[in-house]
Amino acid sequence: MPDLLELTPDGLYCRQGDFHVDPWRRVPRAIVTHAHADHARPGCARYLCAAPGKLVLRERVGGGMPIDTLRFGESLTINGVRVSLHSSGHVLGAAQVRLEHAGVTWVVTGDYKTQADPTCAPFEHVEADVLITESTFGLPLYRWQDPAEIAAAINAWWRENQAAGRTSVILAYALGKAQRLAAMVDPSIGPIVGHGAVMKMVRAYRDSGVRLPSIDGVPPRARKVGNGRALVIAPPSVAGSRWLRLFGDVSVAMASGWMTIRGIRRRRGFDRGFVVSDHADFPGLLEVIEASRARRVLVTHGATEALARLLRERGLDAGTLPTRFMGEAVPDRRSAAADANADEAEPEDDDGADNDDRGHDRDDDGADDAESAP
């Protein structure tokens, strides 16, 4: 029985169905788990994604190419392979891909979390013979707190900053984390302001029917915003940028699973770190792997070697699956730990691979223009 998915230079490929899952290059038919840039590349001839994620994916890959959708749980047969999508709880519309052919089931989890998130559907457990799982936080260091406690900590920090006349800036991915944070915090504390890259995705979320509190964009040519009262949600690339000067005195916090580690928080120079991740923590990964009842597990994206070894010790047939983005997504933490100066070895953020950065730079430039205009 040949494998249902194999790794090719274009990414994961299903020969039987003649389609790719989260391809790295332009291919004729791409099934996309979610719209983060390391999973959704522009330029494919035809896309398939979960229905709730269509507008977000459209925002990312641009107009033109057709995007087919499936509701969560609905199935479609492509060249004899039965394909269905199941919520992965990562961001709006993020899906696990289930493939069934000749009595064998493969599931590609994509990125996922088991924690509750008011801005997307919850994770659905799916059984599989072979499971391809992500492992961004695949070490027992990572165990998330109750989101309600984190929300309370963020609210308290925001109030503290207000009392000191400082604007609160929280850095988070423009897609997913930013909207989740907006939905987590207490909007009665003060105004919420979004960076341009965040606002684009806020619109896509709202157009997809997600309820979010009121979020203001930064007006073009604004000279001063926030007045020490606002919570500003912006992508991580604005850290240390001129755009931040719009807000006067600021306290800058990073929202990321990596903020678990004090050394990373300190070296990156953030005032605060909040452990908010759209990925599963270590217990979450183990729970999902166990519930899948898979006998064979391929680990990708993250602490692959360690998790695969642990699964083998527990009697599973487990291996690793390289990803094109591995260099960025898997920080070389050993050297980061050994050398305080090895900043480059640290993760940019949860999806080190998410090249949101390009988007930010563009938006930064916009902000700079707005500022320097007379």
Instruction: Give the amino acid at 167.
Output: T
Task: For 327-373, give the DSSP string.
Answer: HHHS--HHHHHH-TT-GGGS-SSTTTT-THHHHHHHHHHHHHHHHH-
Answer left, alpha or beta for residue 49, where phi above 0 means left and psi between -120 and 50 means alpha.
Answer: beta
Which residues inside 344-363 make contact with other proteins, applying CB under 8 A? 344, 346
Q: Which is nearer to other proteins, 100 or 281 (CB)?
A: 281
The nearest distance, CB 334 to other proteins, in angstroms, is 4
φ and ψ of 293, to 5 deg: 55, 20
Q: According to the binding rule CB under 8 A, does residue 148 interact with other proteins?
A: no
Structure tokens at 210: 């997600």
Q: According to the binding rule CB under 8 A, does residue 156 interact with other proteins?
A: no
Task: Give Cβ neighbours of residue 15 (< 8 Å, ≥ 6 apart).
Answer: 2, 6
Q: According to the binding rule CB under 8 A, does residue 374 interact with other proteins?
A: no
Q: According to the binding rule CB under 8 A, does residue 154 interact with other proteins?
A: no
Q: According to the binding rule CB under 8 A, does residue 269 interact with other proteins?
A: yes
> Which DSSP letter does residue 202 get?
H
CA distance linking residue 195 with residue 198, whole number of Å: 5
105-113, 170-178, 219-227, 303-311 -> range binding other proteins (CB under 8 A): 303-311
Q: Which is nearer to other proteins, 104 or 286 (CB)?
A: 286
**First and final C-alpha spacing in the chain:** 68
The nearest distance, CB 366 to other proteins, in angstroms, is 14
Q: Which is nearer to other proteins, 248 or 319 (CB)?
A: 248
Under 8 Å between Cβ of 16 and 79: yes
Q: Which is nearer to other proteins, 25 or 267 (CB)?
A: 267
Among 18, 186, 216, 271, binds other proteins (CB under 8 A): 271
Under 8 Å between Cβ of 26 and 41: yes
Q: According to the binding rule CB under 8 A, does residue 261 interact with other proteins?
A: yes
Structure tokens at 332: 């070389």
Instruction: Give the amino acid at 5.
Output: L
Q: According to the binding rule CB under 8 A, does residue 239 interact with other proteins?
A: yes
Q: CA 251 from chain center: how many Å?
A: 24
Q: According to the binding rule CB under 8 A, does residue 102 interact with other proteins?
A: no
Q: According to the binding rule CB under 8 A, does residue 297 interact with other proteins?
A: no
CA distance linking residue 246 with residue 248, whole number of Å: 6
Closest-CA residue to 66 (of 83, 49, 86, 87): 49
Q: Which is nearer to other proteins, 37 or 253 (CB)?
A: 253
Q: According to the binding rule CB under 8 A, does residue 316 interact with other proteins?
A: no
Q: According to the binding rule CB under 8 A, does residue 8 interact with other proteins?
A: no
Q: Which is nearer to other proteins, 207 or 343 (CB)?
A: 343
User: What sign results for the dihedral spanned by CA atoms 234, 235, 236, 240?
Assistant: negative
Answer left, alpha or beta for residue 228, where phi above 0 means left and psi between -120 and 50 means alpha.
Answer: left
Q: According to the binding rule CB under 8 A, does residue 40 interact with other proteins?
A: no
Q: According to the binding rule CB under 8 A, does residue 241 interact with other proteins?
A: yes
Binding mask 327-346 for other proteins (x = CB under 8 A): ------xx-xxx--x-xx-x
Among 43, 62, 140, 327, binds other proteins (CB under 8 A): 140
Task: Give Cβ neighbours of residue 333 (< 8 Å, ≥ 6 apart).
Answer: 345, 346
Chain residues in the site for other proteins (CB under 8 A)? 139-143, 239-242, 244-245, 250, 260-263, 266-269, 271-272, 303, 306, 309-310, 313, 333-334, 336-338, 341, 343-344, 346
